[in-house]
């Protein structure tokens, strides 16, 4: 799973109350914030981008040297 760090500013009392609420619910603040962000994205029909498909390496005319070296005679 890819992760990233997000920093943002908020009032001190908001942070304390939010962390206390999360603690009371036996859940991490990170989990609650992730839930919220996913909910907002779903409400706006924003989905995770699909992975980029990389093309496989196509044989080039230079590969013939590799075949000569690896081939047993």
Q: pLDDT in tens for each of the 73 residues of the chain?
A: 678 899 999 999 999 999 999 999 999 999 999 999 999 999 999 988 888 887 766 656 666 666 666 665 5
Burial status of residue 32 (CB atoms within 10 A of its CB: 0-12, 13-18, 19 or more): middle
Q: Which of 23, 30, 24 is nearest to 1 (CA)?
A: 30
Q: What is the pTM (predicted TM-score) of this model? A: 0.60
**CA dist., res. 42 & res. 30, Å (int):** 18
């Amino acid at each position: 799973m890819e992760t990233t760090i997000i920093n943002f500013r908020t009032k001190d009392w908001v942070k304390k109350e939010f962390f206390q609420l999360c603690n009371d619910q036996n859940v991490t603040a990170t989990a609650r914030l992730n839930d919220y962000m996913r909910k907002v994205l779903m409400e706006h029909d924003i989905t995770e981008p699909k992975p980029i498909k990389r093309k496989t390496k196509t044989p080039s005319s230079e590969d013939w040297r590799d075949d000569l070296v690896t081939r047993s005679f």
